[in-house]
Each structure stands twice: as C-alpha cells, then as structure tokens.
Amino acid sequence: MEIRRQDIHNSDIPLVCRACEARHGGVCGVLTAEQLTELNKHSSRHRLDSGAEVIGQGETVVNYSNIMRGVVKLTKVMADGRQQIVGLQFAPDFLGRPFLAESAISAEAATESEICNFPRNVLDRLVKRTPELEHRLHQQALKELDEARDWMLTLGRKSAQEKVASFLYLIATHIDPESVDMSSFDLPLSRADIADFLGLTIETVSRQFTKLRKENVIRIENNRHVTVPDMDRLMRHAGND
Amino acid sequence: MEIRRQDIHNSDIPLVCRACEARHGGVCGVLTAEQLTELNKHSSRHRLDSGAEVIGQGETVVNYSNIMRGVVKLTKVMADGRQQIVGLQFAPDFLGRPFLAESAISAEAATESEICNFPRNVLDRLVKRTPELEHRLHQQALKELDEARDWMLTLGRKSAQEKVASFLYLIATHIDPESVDMSSFDLPLSRADIADFLGLTIETVSRQFTKLRKENVIRIENNRHVTVPDMDRLMRHAGND
DNA sequence: CCTTTCACTTGATCAAAATCAAATGGCGGC
DNA sequence: GCCGCCATTTGATTTTGATCAAGTGAAAGG
C-alpha cells in the first residue's frame, strides 16, 4: 500500500510537472525524475470544454490521460441510444484502459476540465519496465472496481429517492478531497447526466431533488449549488446506515 | 499482453498443482516452479457445497483463493437485507481483493465448487517480488472492471426481459469456456440469485423466463437446464445488437 | 404411499417510475 | 427591456415491475 518515492529535486523534473496536481496523487507520483522527463517529452496538456469528448466507445486508444482539473464521465451507449454513466473520474485520476486497443466506453468532460495526454505506447513501455507504475495502475483499477460494485447495488436495489441521495453523497465526498467541509458544493453534472448515472429519467431526478429539498435534507441554489445541513441524514436517505 | 512462462518440467512442480485447472489460466500460471512449490506449502484445497460462504462482507481477509471448479457469486447486502450480486466468478478466476484488509463484499459458492486457499500475507509478499504476478492480477482486475461496467448498463437501462436475456447470454458464454457449443447449459443460479443479480424479484424473473420460452427464444428443462436454438436471437432480446 | 417442503410459476392488484405534456425561470443576444 | 432558448420543474396519465396470494410439481422423508 505504501509507495516509496525518491526525494526529487524540483529542478530535476519538468517545469510543467512541478506545479501539476496529478503528479502527487496520480500515476506520475511513482516515476523518477528521468522517467518523468521522458514521459513529459511526449505529453501535452489540454483544456476541455464541458461536454468535450476524450475518447469514444469503440474507438482505438491512442492516448492515456491524467485528469488535472475537473470531472470526467465514463459512459456506455446502447444501439438505440439508451445511455448509462458507468463511472465518474476526478482529478488526479488516471484515464484509460491499459492493455486494450479499443475503448469499451466513451469518456467526456462533465465540467470544464484540464487533462494531460501521453501516447499509449510510451506509457505501455514504461509500465513494462516499472513495477511501481503497474502497481499504481493496479491500485486505481481496484479502486474503480470497488466503486463500480458499490454503484451496482445502487442501480439494482435502491429506490429513486435513495439513488439521488446516494449521488449527492458521492459528489459531496469526491468533488473536493482537500476540503474538510463537504457540506456545500457545485454539482458537476446536469440533471440529464444525473439521470444517466442513476438509471432514471430527468423528471424523476428532478422530483426527488424537490422532495429532498422540501424535507430539508438539502438546499439548492441556482440548480447546481447544493448545501447539506446534516451529512448523516443524507446518508440515511441514501440507504447507507 | 503476452505472458512468457518458462518451460517447467512437470516433476519440478507440486503434485497437486500438476493437474490443476487454475494453474494455466489462473494466477499460478505466471509462477516459477520454486514459487509454486513455496505457495503450495501454505495452500489448501476445499470442496464447497452450494451456498457455502468463502468470505463475508466486512470480514477481515485472511485468505485468497483460486476457483478450481464451480461458480462463485459476489454479493453486497444493505442494512435492511436488500441484496445485489455484483459479480460472478468462474474457474480458474482468482478470488480476493489485493491490498485491502477488509472485504467490502461477500463471496459464496453458487454451485458445488472447489477452491484452493492460500494465506493473504504469503501471496502479498510474493506479489511484491514478482511483477509478472502483479501484472496477472492487474489484468484480472481490469477484466472484472469491464464486466462490472457492462453490468451497470444492464442494471440501469435495460427492461426486465432484456435483463433476463442478458443473464442467459452471460452464462452461455462463461459457463464452459472450453466448449464450442454454448447453446445448452445448466444455470448455476437459482431464480432468487438471478433476481439478485438482475435487480428484479423472483416473480418477474420467472415471468420473463416463461415469456422467452413462449417466444421460442429458449427451451427449459427441469428449471435449470437451458437450450438456446439461436444465440443471435437471444442477443437481440438482450439489447446487444 | 402419503406428506411435507421447497423452488418455481401464475394470477390479481398496487405502487413507483416512465412517459407525455405544459409550465417556469434564468441567461445571452438584440 | 424583450425575445428566444435551454435546462429544469411540475402535472396528468400510463406502464412496468413489485407485492400479495395461490397454485404446481418434483424430490425427500416418514
């Protein structure tokens, strides 16, 4: 679990990496100064508008990314257009499916975001030579698997009200991991996205928001800003007692 | 993707491992004869009755396992008893969550099964020294993640009929990976388990079976044995076109 | 052989969420 | 300020699957 990192002189690592959020929590944290320099040669940073696609379902993966800022949604679409969000990724998560050429999901910025791209083959080569890096990716895969399974319980067994409360709790606890106060935050998703995440319609999501608001579990301003006066009460509404 | 394995003289590896199914497809396949011998010193094989618990939600993980025969279901339970199966594992899958002391799910034999147990700390130590082993576990975690996300789409967006058809398709394609003919198989789960896997009630599952039977998509004998005359037709009913 | 049990099926009714259909309410552009 | 555009909310109705309640049928045990 504990990852050793050599003490790196800031001057040894690429300029752009020095200020990078993703370098510490993210995969780059396990790389040496040399490796970071090498990877950085091939990497490029991009600003993404909300809604911008990083990769599409069925496309060939040419890049992996680190999320430096913002929230990225992972979605699956059926042939007839029905859609399900199967994961949300927050900075400084790694974005990509190692060891597979074709993406089974599409990834799209949910909010205005910033990512750092690097070529698939460069990282794949680096992974082969760096067990620490594979370990780090393995850890993230397991974390995502745990989250996916939690969400399966939500999708399969919870009521609409519990689903919406579960979503709010998820966002409260993930949107700003630094912050001590999780009781006030902006929703990174539209009502339509929330519906796609919860397996509901936007009307049902809206009604449940209204209901939670009327029961004073949450307060809402400007449709996107949520305040939770009592996090335990929200948790109980989410069915997590 | 390609995993090199040294040419091992059968006589160098433990007797019980020689005939083991899990050794080739499973994690043991990447171990050297010495490592296998070492691991085998601490491992033990067990027969599990259908319904026997391997580990319970919230328990401390002391063992990992390989599934040698049978089907194991991974479930999550809510405080009020609502239950969701979050994964099915087939031989020769690895069973366990590396790097976490407490299990977030429970694992239970769905059919009469056989597993090979080994202590958590022995494998954890082996993983640290053997990048190939971590790579193999990483691969399986990614496979399970892909499967979990596929199932999230099923849980969130498919109708009861599509869910049941999706389940049948999943079993047809996983129950016996050797077999060319996937059109006839025994269901490893009861109607109650299927309901818990699909986020439905047993009554709804039963009605959808009846409906698929009446539409000649499947035939059923003795409640558990299913024949699929046209796999593509089943796939269409599952919403996977 | 008959009873009991258990898994499953079938039927009738109910409730939750989907669907269809209008409001409402910011917000940017003119 | 007014208009038109979206996202969101609210309302009426329908549909799907859940719930409640009996059956059925096969296997185990007396």
Per-residue pLDDT band for B176 (boundaries 50, 70, 90) equals confident
Q: Which two tokens stand for residue B149?
A: 């996300």
The length of chain B, given as a count of residues: 241
Coil vs helix vs strand at A74: strand
* B157 pLDDT more than 60: yes
From the Cβ of A191, is strand D under 7 Å away?
Answer: yes
How many Å separate Cα B221 from the centre of its chain? 24
CA of B128 to C1' of D9 (A): 55
| Alpha helices, DSSP H, located in A43-157 | 120-129, 131-157
pLDDT at A25: 82
CA of A132 to C1' of C11 (A): 61
Domains, chain B:
10-152 (2.60.120.10), 159-237 (1.10.10.10)
From the Cβ of A50, is strand D under 7 Å away?
Answer: no
User: What is the spatial distance between Cα B219 and Cα B210, in angstroms, rounded to a whole number?
Assistant: 10
Question: Which of A144, A157, A200 to mutate against chain B (most B CBs within 10 Å)?
Answer: A157
Say which residue the tokens 């029905």 belong to.
A82
Tens of pLDDT along chain A (241 residues) come to 555 555 555 667 888 888 887 788 889 999 999 999 999 999 999 999 999 999 999 999 999 999 999 999 999 999 999 999 999 999 999 999 999 999 999 999 999 999 999 999 999 999 999 999 999 999 999 999 999 999 999 999 999 999 999 999 999 999 887 778 889 999 999 999 999 999 999 999 999 999 999 999 999 999 999 999 999 999 999 999 8
Q: Cβ of A149 and B1 within 8 Å?
A: no
Residues 6+ apart with CB under 8 A from B155: A152, A155, A156, A199, B163, B198, B199
pLDDT at B25: 83
Mean pLDDT of the B155-177 span: 95
> Chain A: nearest CA to B121, how far in angstroms?
13
Contact B110, B50 (CB under 8 A): yes
Closest among B87, B39, B44 to B68, alpha carbons compared: B44
User: What is the spatial distance between Cα B88 and Cα B74, in angstroms, rounded to a whole number?
Assistant: 6
From the Cβ of A220, is strand D under 7 Å away?
Answer: yes
DSSP of chain B, one letter per residue? ---------GGGS-HHHHT-THHHHSGGGGS-HHHHHHHHHT-EEEEE-TT-EEE-TT-B--EEEEEEESEEEEEEE-TTS-EEEEEEEETT-EES-TT-SB-SSEEEESSSEEEEEEEHHHHHHHHHH-HHHHHHHHHHHHHHHHHHHHHHHHHHH--HHHHHHHHHHHHHHHS-SS-S--SEEE-SS-HHHHHHHHTS-HHHHHHHHHHHHHTTS-EEETTTEEE-S-HHHHHHHTT--
pLDDT digits (tens, 9 = 90+) for A113-143: 999 999 999 999 999 999 999 999 999 999 9
Contact A88, A65 (CB under 8 A): no
Mean pLDDT of the B203-227 span: 97
Facing residue for B152 by CB, picked from A82, A97, A152: A152
Q: Which two tokens stand for residue B47?
A: 């027969």
pLDDT at A9: 58
> What residues in chain A have their Cβ under 8 A from chain B's Cβ atoms?
1, 74, 76, 78-80, 82-84, 86-87, 97-100, 104-105, 131, 134-135, 137-139, 141-142, 144-146, 148-153, 155-158, 198-199, 239-241
Say which residue the tokens 């599990």 belong to.
B48
φ/ψ region of A122 (left if φ > 0, alpha if ψ in -120 to 50, else beta) reads alpha
Residues 6+ apart with CB under 8 A from A7: none
Contact B158, B166 (CB under 8 A): yes
Q: Cβ of B148 and A150 within 8 Å?
A: no
Which residues of B are less than 8 Å from A84 in CB distance? 152-153, 156-157
pLDDT digits (tens, 9 = 90+) for B30-66: 999 999 999 999 999 999 999 999 999 999 999 999 9
Contact A183, A227 (CB under 8 A): yes
Say which residue the tokens 């949300």 belong to.
A88
User: What is the spatial distance between Cα B165 and Cα A52, in angstroms, rounded to a whole number?
Assistant: 34
pLDDT at A22: 78
pLDDT digits (tens, 9 = 90+) for A55-88: 999 999 999 999 999 999 999 999 999 999 999 9
> Chain A: nearest CA to B210, how far in angstroms?
22
Residue of chain B minimizing CA distance to A194: B156
pLDDT at B6: 52
pLDDT at A113: 94
pLDDT at A156: 98
Which residues of B are less than 8 Å from A135 in CB distance? 134
CA distances from A188 to A133, A151, B3, B159, B207 (A): 30, 18, 41, 28, 40
pLDDT digits (tens, 9 = 90+) for B16-32: 888 887 788 889 999 99
CA of A210 to C1' of C24 (A): 14
CA of A94 to C1' of C1 (A): 69
Average pLDDT, chain B: 93
A206 phi, psi to nearest 5 deg: -60, -45
Nearest nucleotide by C1' position to the A192 CA atom: D7
The one-letter code for the residue type at B231 is: M
Cis peptide before A92 (omega within 30 of 0): yes
* B172 pLDDT more than 80: yes
Neighbours of B227 (CB within 10 A): 11
Residue of chain A minimizing CA distance to B82: A157
Mean pLDDT of the B185-210 span: 98
Residues 6+ apart with CB under 8 A from B53: B106, B107, B108, B109
